[in-house]
Structure 1
Amino acid sequence: MVSYFKFTILLFISSSLSISGQHDEERKAQPENLQHHVYHNKLGIGLGHTHVSRGRNMDGIKWLALPSFALIYDYHFNQRWSLGIHVDIIVENFEVETNLRSDNENEIIKRNRPIAPALMATYKFTNHSSLVFGGGFEYAPEETLSIFRVGYEWSTHLNEKWELAIPFTYDFRIDAYDSWTLSLIIARMW
């Protein structure tokens, strides 16, 4: 009876190990979940529109929707955090009325195809949703403005190394004007 009991325990242990080993082999054979794999580098390009609520034309104050490009590079530290350079390039010339001057004096400033690079931190709080925040400058021939940028980004993997993202960002230009941008970005990860 004792030998039968030992044999049963030995059989149970060996079958458990065998099943566990098969599970590990199956897990290794299956493709990894694309949303959880961490690639450290991401480079992307996108198209969008930058909206300025206090644009100016001959008729006065007007809401402007300006075409823009986006270039991004992010370095991912882990699944949640990344740091990168995000550059917005507005491809039109425009005039805008300042609304944030500390002396309450609004003036018209011209912006000739401004380029706005910003150092951005990204916190990914779900598989598809991220918060972005950072700061930088907006360069134009007339004047360089400081900006603070915050936003939300929805993204999904197209395949193992390509990602589609739709960021919505809001730029605060210090002592000048604000704008918001909605873009569509395609990015390559490695």
Structure 2
Amino acid sequence: MKWSLNIGTIIILTVLLTSMRVMGQTESVDEDENEASNKHRLTILMANAFIPAADNIADQNSVFIVPAWGINYDYWFNHKIGIGLHNTFILQQYKIEKSQENVIIERSFPVIVTGEFLFKPVRNLTISLGVGREFEKHESFTVINTGIEYGFELQHGIELSLNFLYDNKIDAYDSWMFGVGFSKFFSWTNRKE
């Protein structure tokens, strides 16, 4: 009797452990398929930009921070590499001292548009490198930027992320931006019924 109870316990444990392993593999495959199908990401970013070149202007604060919004679209080739179109809207007027010429330039609600290369060295961490243009009615500048983002996965393909971005406006000025992003992952698949 004691021997049969141990054999029964072993059989039950074996069946349970085997089924857990099979279910675990199924969930992993489902996650990989889901990640592969969610190639598109749309992000809305709320941020603040620190502009050091504005510090030297007499009628501005010594620490000059302006509000900004971002709307970003990313396409992921796989779970590590993607490209994106990132758009930043600065929501304030300010003056900067142009680095090369010591000339004061007024900036009025500039818009920055960049093409980005995206790389995920680990699951929730994204590093970006981009090139683009800052458009503004007085003068536009070429922009080179780099950024780092850490995302927190929520439900239904939604992600909350912390973003840090450095913009170098060539021969003009630099800015640092810190923000919070809300992203939605999705796919555009044609399903045949």
* TM, length-normalised to structure 2: 0.78
Aligned amino acid, residue 146 of structure 1: T
User: For the Cα contact (< 8 Å) 2:114–2:131, is it kept in 1?
Assistant: yes
**Correspondence for 2:115 among 97, 119, 127:** 119
| SS of the residue 1:62 aligns to | coil
- The correspondence of residues 1-16 of structure 1 with structure 2, limited to 5 A, is none
**Whole-angstrom CA distance in 2 between matches of 1:70 and 1:152:** 15
**Whole-angstrom CA distance in 1 between matches of 2:112 and 2:73:** 14
User: For the Cα contact (< 8 Å) 1:54–1:61, is it kept in 2?
Assistant: no
**Whole-angstrom CA distance in 2 between matches of 1:172 and 1:184:** 21
| SS of the residue 2:53 aligns to | strand
**Whole-angstrom CA distance in 1 between matches of 2:112 and 2:172:** 14
**Whole-angstrom CA distance in 2 between matches of 1:27 and 1:60:** 59
**Whole-angstrom CA distance in 2 between matches of 1:107 and 1:29:** 60
- Structure showing greater radius of gyration is 1
Q: Residue in 2 aligned with 1:12? A: none
CA RMSD of aligned residues (A): 2.7
Q: Residue in 1 aligned with 2:42? A: 43
**Whole-angstrom CA distance in 1 between matches of 2:27 and 2:72:** 33
Aligned amino acid, residue 154 of structure 1: Y
Q: Which runs of 5+ in 2 are unaligned?
A: 1-13, 187-193
- The correspondence of residues 114-153 of structure 1 with structure 2, limited to 5 A, is 114-153=110-149
User: For the Cα contact (< 8 Å) 1:52–1:179, is it kept in 2?
Assistant: yes
How many angstroms does 1:25 deviate by?
Answer: 5.0
Give % identity: 23
How many angstroms does 1:58 deviate by?
Answer: 3.7
Tell me the alpha carbon deviations over residues 11-37 of structure 1, each in whole angstroms, 9 at most, x when there is no partner.
Answer: xxxxx9xx8788435532679458x82
User: For the Cα contact (< 8 Å) 1:54–1:62, is it kept in 2?
Assistant: no
**Whole-angstrom CA distance in 2 between matches of 1:44 and 1:24:** 35
User: For the Cα contact (< 8 Å) 2:134–2:142, is it kept in 1?
Assistant: yes
User: For the Cα contact (< 8 Å) 1:44–1:186, is it kept in 2?
Assistant: yes
Tell me the alpha carbon deviations over residues 88-144 of structure 1, each in whole angstroms, 9 at most, x when there is no partner.
Answer: 110001001112x2xxx2111111000001001110111121211011000011111
Runs (4 or more) in structure 1 with deviation over 6 Å come to 19-22
How many angstroms does 1:189 deviate by?
Answer: 0.6
Q: Residue in 2 aligned with 1:65? A: 65
- The correspondence of residues 100-115 of structure 1 with structure 2, limited to 5 A, is 101=100, 105-115=101-111
Aligned amino acid, residue 93 of structure 1: Q
**Whole-angstrom CA distance in 2 between matches of 1:24 and 1:89:** 49
Higher helix share: 2
Q: Residue in 1 aligned with 2:172? A: 176
Deviates more, 1:58-67 or 1:164-173: 58-67
